[in-house]
Amino acid sequence: MVQAKAWILTKHFDGFPTESNFELKLEQLPEPKDGEVLLEAVFLSVDPYMRPFSRVRMNEGEVMIGTQVAKVIQSKNAEFAVGSHVVGRCGWRTHTVCDTTGLTPVMADWPEDVSLSLALGAIGMPGLTALYGLEEVLGLQAGETLLVNAAAGAVGSVVGQIAKIKGCRVVGSAGSDAKVAFLKELGFDRTINYKTVGSLDQALREAAPEGYDCYFENVGGQFSSVAIHQMNNYGRIAVCGCISLYNDTTPQTGPYPHLTMIFKQLKMEGFMQSRWEHKHPESLKRLMAWMKEGKLQCREHITEGFDNMPAAFMGLLQGENTGKAIIKV
């Protein structure tokens, strides 16, 4: 039998997560049955969505939700060979015995010189989120001006780079000078440190005097209230996240954008990448091709050690990461 470690959500978050919300437990796993596999985590992901999703999709006492790249170390399923790697929603566990429902083999031609951790980042869910938000929701066209916030994060950094590939002007907002420098390295046309500008409204206007055609929303709250007024007529807004709201104990209220949306005839649409799951195989190949061509840079913020997952998650919510936050087991 294999002994596994697992992080349990002991109590739903009330405000910002603390160490007391988590407990590390040991599990004795059974042998795989016919059709099942035993997985060993190699890389695990921490993502902002875990904060709100844990409230609606988890009960206290359950293993924290999450995705990992895992190695098949025992198999009783002919389609999953020992030694192969998969992406699975196994949660915060070092080892998992499961059937193969929901397991996605890492693409067969994954380059040997590319870390498998990218299957949790730019060549995974965050990259797909960026791609579908731009193409399926915004319908971004060459020559348009795009605004993206949380632009140095796992999704935002890919959003900006794909928009540049498509021939667009990109304005990115981030929360530190180091992150702004990173955005400049990626080729963003204008960058804003929203924490240090005297006026966000003025900074956004100076970055794009003719306004914004598209807005990729990751933050919500006050930033959104300011940005919406600078959208051009018939502008499109893709709502991917609202990290400024996740840890509130009292819901934020207003100002309300309805009149601006009516007068400017704006379109705002929330989305999740799973809507286009049927496109994933081809989309991942596109993302990989851009990376191999040098058009897509993939920055990672790696934390060593499974025992450090809660700290990595809390650091993510505080904006400590540039690029994708990854735990290396």
Give the three-state DSSP class for 2: strand
Give the three-state DSSP class for 309: helix
Is pLDDT above 90 for 1? no
Q: Could you give the percent of the chain with pLDDT greater than 90?
A: 97
Q: What pLDDT score does 192 carry?
A: 98
Band of residue 16 on the pLDDT scale cut at 50, 70, 90: very high
Residue pair 170/164 in contact by the 8 Å Cβ criterion: yes
Sign, CA dihedral 306-307-312-317, equals: positive
DSSP 3-state helix, strand, coil percentages of the chain (rounded to 5)? 30, 30, 40
- The CA-based angle 69-135-109, given to 5 degrees, is 35
Distance CA 284, CA 186 (A): 20
- The CA-based angle 259-262-263, given to 5 degrees, is 85
Name beta bridge partners: 192: 173
Q: What pLDDT score does 84 carry?
A: 97
Q: Is the model's pTM score more than 0.85? A: yes
Is pLDDT above 90 for 254? no
Band of residue 108 on the pLDDT scale cut at 50, 70, 90: confident
Is pLDDT above 90 for 288? yes
Is pLDDT above 90 for 54? yes
Whole-number average pLDDT of the chain: 97
pLDDT in tens, 121-162: 999 999 999 999 999 999 999 999 999 999 999 999 999 999
Strands (E), the chain: 2-9, 22-29, 36-45, 68-75, 85-88, 95-99, 104-105, 145-148, 169-174, 190-193, 212-217, 231-239, 267-270, 300-304, 324-328
Q: What pLDDT score does 310 carry?
A: 98
**CA-wise closest residue to 128 among 155, 91, 157:** 155
Is pLDDT above 90 for 194? yes
Q: What pLDDT score does 32 carry?
A: 97
Which amino acid is present at 103? L
- The CA-based angle 297-171-194, given to 5 degrees, is 100
